[in-house]
Amino acid sequence: MSAERSSYKGRPFEPDPVKTGVGRSFEMPSFSDFRGALCRFLSYSQPSFLKRACTDAPHSSFGYELLLTNGHLRYQQNIIFDQLEFSLPAQKWTCLLGPSGVGKSSLIRLLAGLHDAAFGQVSCIDHKGQSFPPLGHVAYMAQKDGLLPWLSVIDNVTLGARLRGRKKSPEARRLAENLLEDVGLSNVAAARPEALSGGMRQRVALARTLFEDRPIILLDEPFSALDALTRIALQDLFAKLLKGRTVLLVTHDPLEALRLADKVMVLSGRPASMMEALYPQGHAPRPTDAPDILTLQGQLLRQLAGDTPYHG
């Protein structure tokens, strides 16, 4: 890579130009405080659209590699990881496994620019080897769906654009409608989130992530609260709709990682480091009962055994 890597320290993202002086307790004492309070509330809920820059970034048909160097996180007196390095190959799925408390969620929040304790150099690399900061190229989808209960499904999908001050347009609404059709929710576009099941809410969150149209997608355990059948169905849907993007999925489930990933990484040890990556064969999503997948699942479970987590 000929270009110099850009430094990008993770920190809470505050949408510009909105002032965000309201505290963590989300209240709306007056309408004039609404927008600032909303953005502060959302910054702690971590919905995917907050990871976008306020201006559109060019979309490359070649995709982007995402590179971390010198990743560091300290919790109290303990170093959780230090000088951590890895890359996410362009237009491929990478899954990250590790014991609870090893620092997986902190790591993905570092990549998303949402962690104020972890830091490191995060760079996008294009097909020519040129390096540039990730802002404007990354969307982040957290464990919780972050849907706003007073907005309809379709307004939740388009909320990122509204917070950036964009006026409603027929084109944006058509895009949102098409995405809801893609995730099988066109019939509930006017519904409130309270009327949806957990799986439906996650599909709305996926549509919101796709609405941002970022080439790099960071997913922090989006299926963890779902039953087994819903989880498998959504894995298949995510694999279909995120094809051609650079994806990082954090998960506790080795089988889920092996179904979806082109590359499987395990974060392990204290301080944590990346173990040798696995590269499952065949096209995702893979059958859950494939013999080679079951063999790799056993290998991953053995790798994951024996670590002591931190509780940060």
Q: Which pLDDT tens digit goes with each residue over 92-147?
A: 999 999 988 888 988 998 998 887 778 889 999 998 999 998 888 999 998 889 99
Is residue 257 a part of any domain in this protein?
Answer: yes
What are the phi and psi torsion angles at 267 (to 5°)? -95, 120
What is the per-residue pLDDT across 149-183, written as a single tens digit (0 to 9) for each?
999 999 999 998 888 887 778 888 999 999 999 99
In a domain, 141, yes or no: yes
Q: Which residues contact 128 (CB under 8 A, 6 or more apart)?
A: none
Q: For residue 185, what is the domain's CATH number?
A: 3.40.50.300
Give me the domain span that covers residue 59: 47-304
- Domain total in the chain: 1
Q: Which pair of structure tokens corresponds to residue 149?
A: 């209960």
The answer to the question of residue 14 being in a domain is: no
Whether residue 29 is contained in a domain is answered as no
> What are the φ and ψ backbone dihedral angles of 157, each rounded to 5 degrees?
-65, -40
Q: Rounded CA gap, 302 and 312, in Å?
A: 24
> What pLDDT band is residue 306 in, cutting at 50, 70 and 90?
low
- Give me the amino acid identity at 142: A
pTM of the model: 0.78
**In a domain? residue 15:** no
